[in-house]
Amino acid sequence: MPWFNSSIAAIIPYFPKWMVKPFAKPYVAGIADDEALQIVQQLNKKGYAVTLDILGEYVNSQEEAENIRNAYSGLIQKIAAGGLNSTISVKLTHLGLALDPQLGENNILTLARDGRDNDVGITIDMENSPFTSLTFDIYKKALAIHHRMGTVIQAYLYRSLEDIKALDSPFLNLRICKGIYKEPPEIAIQDRRTINDNFVEMARSLLNGSGYACLATHDLTLIDRLEALIEAEHIPSDRFEFQVLYGVPMGNRLEELKAKGYTVRVYVPFGEAWFEYSVRRLKENPQIISYVMGNWFKK
């Protein structure tokens, strides 16, 4: 039924929120942080590490940006108090970067201090290309405060291999992903196979240097290639981890990775902005529509 799923996915942004909620459920860990923290506990019990993300980007005021920063500070404290195996993931535009770069920087540096004081890791998500260099500059300042800071590098950007070399540091922690934004051909590879080749070369470069690699993909063929690289180059399992988004179907693959002694971290998003996020996920994977509907009729 792919045509049916794709047709529904195309019109879903126009549905009322109550109709979209059942489709959102597999991808979003609720609205309040306590709901999300329960999911973290469940995933931790199954042997998964987690990174928690408060959904949203591009705030409209300093007050809004500071509220998001405070929400993340509260989350850091709850992760530490609960002894949970979770980091947090943050978008700099959610902390005000697009409004005022200094505001975004001040907010993430405050979180870096909170992360350091509570021993909770923080990853700065990567957004679209106008923010790439700025994000790396801010990441370096945050890393000087808290050694458990990470950021993201996108395999579709031509510049990324060079960026890995330029960022080199004993505590470098980079999540490698393909990249989710639409970028022009002048700066970004458009062909999926070449993006995958670049992903593998970036992993090789990071693992041959001193960095820690977070291999974020659901592409099973790419995971095969990354595993082959790790085995061929005898990379110890404390130098890398695999990462996936909460709810994306992976068959048995995550269990298999864990059985090999590899860390698997699940990116768990939650919060008020669940509607926009879920619509994006459904457009990317319309198959989820028949899966959720199938479950309704089984009840």
Question: For the chain, percent helix, then strand, then coil, each to nearest 5?
Answer: 55, 15, 30
Q: Phi and psi of 52, rounded to 5°?
A: -100, 135
Which is nearer to ligand FAD, 29 or 152 (by Cβ)?
Answer: 152
Which is nearer to ligand FAD, 77 or 292 (by Cβ)?
Answer: 292
Structure tokens at 202: 């970036």
- Helices 101-118/62-81 angle, 10° precision: 10
Q: Please state the length of the chain.
A: 299
Using rule CB under 6 A, residue 291 touches ligand FAD = no
CA distance 42 to 50: 10
Structure tokens at 290: 């028949």
Q: Please report, as residue ranges, which positions from 183 to 212 form the binding site for ligand FAD (by CB under 6 A).
A: none
Structure tokens at 263: 């860390």
Whether 175 is a known active-site residue: answer yes
Using rule CB under 6 A, residue 135 touches ligand FAD = no
Whether 125 is a known active-site residue: answer yes
Binding test (CB under 6 A) with ligand FAD, winner from 93, 132, 198, 243: 243
Q: Phi and psi of 271, rounded to 5°?
A: 125, 180
Using rule CB under 6 A, residue 131 touches ligand FAD = no
Beta bridge partners of 175: 152, 214
For the chain, how big is the Rg over CA atoms in Å? 19
Which is nearer to ligand FAD, 117 or 137 (by Cβ)?
Answer: 137
* Binding residues for ligand FAD, total number by CB under 6 A: 22
Using rule CB under 6 A, residue 248 touches ligand FAD = yes
Structure tokens at 96: 């005000």
Binding test (CB under 6 A) with ligand FAD, winner from 75, 216, 230, 289: 216
Return all residues near 284 (Cβ < 8 A) that are at least 6 apart.
none
Which is nearer to ligand FAD, 106 or 285 (by Cβ)?
Answer: 285
Using rule CB under 6 A, residue 285 touches ligand FAD = yes
Using rule CB under 6 A, residue 218 touches ligand FAD = yes
Binding test (CB under 6 A) with ligand FAD, winner from 40, 157, 177, 215: 177
Catalytic residues: 125, 175
Residues at the contact surface with ligand FAD, assessed by CB under 6 A: 125-126, 152, 154, 175, 177-181, 216-219, 243-245, 248, 267, 281, 284-285
